[in-house]
A = this chain, B = another copy of it.
Amino acid sequence: MKAGLLIIGDEILSGKTVDTNSAYLGQKLTEAGFIVKKKLTVGDDKNEIKKAFRELMKDEDIKIILTTGGLGPTKDDLTKGAITEYLGLKLIYRDEIYEKIKERFEKRGLKCPDINRSQAYIPEGAKILENELGTAPGLIIEKEGKIVIMMPGVPKEMKNMFEKEGLTYLIQKLKPKKKIYSKILRTTGIPESEIQEKLRDFEGLAYLPKFTGVDIKVSAISEKELNEKVEKIKEILGNYIYGEDEQKLEEVIGKLLKERGLKIGVAESCTGGLIKDRITDVPGSSNYFMGGVVAYSNEMKMKVLGVREESLMKWGAVSEQVAIEMAEGVKKVADADIGLSTTGIAGPTGATPTKPVGLVYIGIATPDYSKAYKYIFSGDRRMIKEKAAQEALNILRLYLLSK
């Protein structure tokens, strides 16, 4: 069962925006057992949209047409008009949709601009896909034996509506047979080449390396085969695997903390708040995350975290000793069971002859012991922050697993 994608937007053709929507749709469709046959990308030009849409409609192989972009309220949002015209459908004003859009604005204390009224005109017979994250609703039209789904171009909005409604609709209507089963195993702390070495006997693996870890996509033609493969790989990689599929390291940690009834505080220097930002992305994190401190200045390290002046003088702010004192300090000040800390040189400036850019100490203070680990990370400022935050969370995870 084949699909065609129609991606709309000047900003994609001019390269201002990298189109990540179609890779996402390609993955989801492939996993569900559909095949993407082709993809057309055109600008915000009604005629071009119509021509491209016509091409997909005339392709006999294609049963599904997904479009992204061009559903907003402004004059360069032309998708709905172009496709409705091509299909010879009328646009009907639906007051309940305008009410919803108005509500979105009013909730934020804003007046809904007149221009947004255009979003409430819906092609006759179309099914509406609710947009929980924006104003433009998605649309499903069935015509000439094909299912057409129009979605907005903003990735979060599009993904949310496709995952919650669009894909289910396609699966229920078209019942694709050759489903491919796959699972992602997420690792951190081990390089891609070492994983490949360890897993060289496995077929059907894809490696998705990020600089905070490598995701391994395991595929199989049956659920049984998939589970067997996954189990074997888990045995081989052990604790290098922290989660599956969309699971984030901070979610895994949240679960472990809740299970063990432990609370955490975090003191950051070089990571600047990133660890806490990630921890608090998890709904309900206020149950185990008490808070913490970003201590950029030495004064704050002393005043709030109780780092000793002597340690700062003797070892410097970027040192094992200070990392330990920061972790112990935040454990105390946050009334937590565990304190986590980072201190390092994120660059590009700040290096000394003995302390290079990328040098980071990560401290952990637990009910059992206090300890610091030393790293030298490569990359630019942001990469060093992200690598250090990931490693700190992973140290916490490994500690929690040992309890």
* B23 engages A19 (CB within 8 Å): yes
Is A97 positioned at the interface, with any CB of B under 8 Å from its CB?
A: no
Shortest A396–chain B CB gap in Å is: 15
Nearest-neighbor residue (CB-CB) of A157 within chain B: B211
* B23 engages A12 (CB within 8 Å): yes
Which B residues are CB-close (under 8 A) to A261? none
Q: Which among B12, B16, B280, B377 is the interface contact of A217 at CB below 8 angstroms? A: B16
* B37 engages A40 (CB within 8 Å): no
Given contacts A23-B17, A191-B110, A206-B11, contact A297 B291 (CB under 8 A): yes
Q: How far is the CA of A279 from the CA of B16 in the complex (A)?
A: 25
Shortest A341–chain B CB gap in Å is: 13
* B300 engages A206 (CB within 8 Å): no
Q: How far is the CA of A285 from the CA of B297 in the complex (A)?
A: 11
* B48 engages A38 (CB within 8 Å): yes
Is A247 positioned at the interface, with any CB of B under 8 Å from its CB?
A: no
Given contacts A274-B277, A294-B273, contact A207 B17 (CB under 8 A): no
Which B residues are CB-close (under 8 A) to A353? none
* B291 engages A295 (CB within 8 Å): yes
Which of A161-169, A220-228, A252-260, A378-386 forms contacts with chain B?
A: A378-386
Is A392 positioned at the interface, with any CB of B under 8 Å from its CB?
A: no
Which B residues are CB-close (under 8 A) to A377? 108
Q: How far is the CA of A220 from the CA of B385 in the complex (A)?
A: 38
Q: How far is the CA of A133 from the CA of B304 in the complex (A)?
A: 36
At the interface, is chain A mostly helix, strand, loop or mixed? mixed
* A15 engages B25 (CB within 8 Å): yes
Q: How far is the CA of A15 from the CA of B104 in the complex (A)?
A: 32
Q: How far is the CA of A43 from the CA of B15 in the complex (A)?
A: 21
Oligomeric state, in number of copies?
2
Is A13 positioned at the interface, with any CB of B under 8 Å from its CB?
A: yes
Is A10 positioned at the interface, with any CB of B under 8 Å from its CB?
A: yes
In A8-45, which residues have CB < 8 Å from any B CB?
10-20, 22-30, 35-43
Given contacts A43-B38, A209-B154, A378-B104, contact A74 B193 (CB under 8 A): yes
Shortest A282–chain B CB gap in Å is: 8
Which B residues are CB-close (under 8 A) to A5? 41
* B283 engages A277 (CB within 8 Å): no
Given contacts A113-B197, A281-B272, contact A13 B27 (CB under 8 A): no
Among A191, A275, A335, A350, residue most surrounded by chain B Cβ atoms (within 10 Å): A191
Is A196 positioned at the interface, with any CB of B under 8 Å from its CB?
A: yes
Which B residues are CB-close (under 8 A) to A48? 37-38
Q: How far is the CA of A73 from the CA of B379 in the complex (A)?
A: 19
Shortest A98–chain B CB gap in Å is: 14
Q: Which among B15, B22, B76, B207 is the interface contact of A15 at CB below 8 angstroms? A: B22
Which B residues are CB-close (under 8 A) to A238? none
Q: How far is the CA of A19 from the CA of B187 in the complex (A)?
A: 22
* A294 engages B272 (CB within 8 Å): no
Shortest A195–chain B CB gap in Å is: 9
* A283 engages B376 (CB within 8 Å): no
4 closest Cβ pairs, A-B complex: A272-B280, A15-B26, A273-B276, A273-B273
**What are 10 of the A-B contact pairs (CB < 8 Å)?**
A15-B30, A16-B26, A108-B378, A273-B279, A273-B280, A276-B294, A280-B294, A281-B381, A283-B347, A286-B296
